[in-house]
Amino acid sequence: MTKVELLELVRDIHIIREYALEKLTEAYCQEHNKRIQIVRLPVGHSELNAIELIWAQAKNEVARKKTKFTLTAAKEAMDEALANVTAGDWKKCIRHTIKVFFYF
């Protein structure tokens, strides 16, 4: 079949996606009488994701060290950089993402 013919076949099929996280969250909320809202981040907006900012911080620390580039040295440098991430770094990144999120 051609691409056009295949697209004709699937055009009217409606797929309902079910996510495990949503099911587990809903079950938890019902069991514990809580209200939790899952917020999905838009694709390609790393400034809205605190972990991306932490990852960038760690990569910059590795780059500043300018160690010789071997896989072992790079892994050790990254492990050390990630170990240097503090609770304060996380708070700063989370505050930044909240600020950027509400700016949009």
Unique residue bearing structure tokens 């304060």: 88
Asked if 74 and 58 count as a contact pair (C-beta separation under 8 A), the reply is no
**pLDDT tens-digit map of 70-97:** 888 889 999 999 999 999 999 999 999 8
**pLDDT tens-digit map of 2-48:** 999 988 888 888 888 888 999 999 999 999 999 998 878 777 788 88
* DSSP string of 8-46, one letter each residue: HHHTT--PPP--HHHHHHHHHHHHHT------PPPTT-G
pTM, whole model, 2 decimals? Answer: 0.61
> How high is the pLDDT of residue 36?
92
CA distance 76 to 2: 51
State the angle between helix axes of 87-103 and 50-65 in degrees (0 to 180), rounded to the nearest 10: 130
Asked if 100 and 48 count as a contact pair (C-beta separation under 8 A), the reply is yes
Question: Does the pLDDT of residue 55 top 90, yes or no?
Answer: yes
Q: What distances in angstroms separate CA 15 from CA 10, 11, 43, one per listed residue?
A: 10, 11, 21
